[in-house]
Structure 1
Amino acid sequence: MNDDLATRLREQGLRLTPQRQLILRAVVELRHATPDEVLAHVRSQVSSVNASTVYRTLEVLEELGLVRHTHLSDRAPTYHSALEHEHVHVVCRRCQKVRSYDPAVVQPVVDALAADGFVVDVGHLAIFGECADCGSAGT
């Protein structure tokens, strides 16, 4: 992870800083996290990191192709590692639990849209509904 980060940063004329390493590690460890959640995680290790550093670094990491974001709520974007396999996000509207599914689950939709000339960014896709646990709780 750090070698990939260092290489990509160097290619852009940027330095590998401890803050960038901590922020990327936080995204990987948290799996799906808002910038505020990343900040809290990083501050549990280094209290001097500020919010603007986290936001700027997440932008840089996304430009480098190391993290991706999606919108899993009406709040801030949620970041996850781009080093993981591509996946579709499924979000329960009741408990907010996020699950990841293989893109094959939505392949018929992707194929239908591709036939019409539209290319789907599956990693950015989020499907909202109600999980089995919450669905059975309401009956």
Structure 2
Amino acid sequence: MSESSLAEVLRARGLRLTAQRQLILQAVLDLGHATPEQVHTAVREVAAGVNITTIYRTLELLERLGLVTHTHLSHGSPTYHAAGEHQHVHLVCRECGAIDEIDPGLLGPLADRLVAERGFRVDIGHVALFGVCGRCGEDPADEGVPGRSEDGEQK
């Protein structure tokens, strides 16, 4: 999102464009998926005076404006990413913490079944699946069984 687009969105809501708001949005866009703490670290490289409270408040504002969205990818802070991105399901590696994305269409049959059987509509943008990524699961001792050690025990 360009500076002028952000300014237009803010002005439409009676708000003004500040350097801090611009830096925080840019950090989210640059990082892809980022916790408020990661955004804070990135912003402080440019503007050392921005505190973590400002980061949290601005992320909340940007979410209310529809510019960013969040999901919970761990037990800690939420993870933010640009709202304009296509919907996706998050794949989170429990070993290395890597975050990958898959097309939400893969969950389509499950989502359809949940609606039909329970009237439950899945918010795909907030779905996170936890497991072990291909890099971390490439242990020759696993004998081709993801999540298992040589003796068959769950890792």
Question: Per the shorter chain, which TM-score range?
Answer: over 0.9
Count, aligned residues: 139
Displacement of 1:3 in angstroms is 3.4
CA distance in 2, matches of 1:5, 1:114: 36
Partner residue in 2 for 1:19: 20
Partner residue in 2 for 1:73: 74
CA distance in 1, matches of 2:37, 2:103: 27
Counterpart code for 2:84? L
Show structure 1 runs of 5+ residues with no match: none
Q: Which aligned segments of 4 or more residues in structure 1 are displaced greater than 3 angstroms?
A: none
Displacement of 1:10 in angstroms is 1.7
Local SS of the residue matching 2:137: helix
Local SS of the residue matching 1:84: coil
CA distance in 2, matches of 1:11, 1:122: 29
Displacement of 1:135 in angstroms is 1.5
Partner residue in 2 for 1:134: 136
CA distance in 2, matches of 1:66, 1:114: 28
Rg comparison, structure with higher value: 2
Q: TM-score, normalised by structure 2?
A: 0.85
Q: How do residues 36-115 of structure 1 correspond to structure 2 at under 5 angstroms?
A: 36-115=37-116
Displacement of 1:110 in angstroms is 1.2
CA distance in 1, matches of 2:66, 2:110: 25
Question: 1 or 2, which has the higher helix percentage?
Answer: 1
Show structure 2 runs of 5+ residues with no match: 143-155
RMSD between superposed Cα atoms in Å: 1.2
Local SS of the residue matching 1:90: strand
- Percent identical pairs in the alignment equals 55
Displacement of 1:13 in angstroms is 1.3
Partner residue in 2 for 1:117: 119
Partner residue in 2 for 1:8: 9
Local SS of the residue matching 2:138: helix
Deviations 1:20-64 (A, max 9, x none): 011001001000110010000011111111111100000000111
CA distance in 2, matches of 1:105, 1:37: 30
- Report 1 or 2 for greater relative contact order, CA contacts < 8 Å, sequence distance ≥ 6: 1
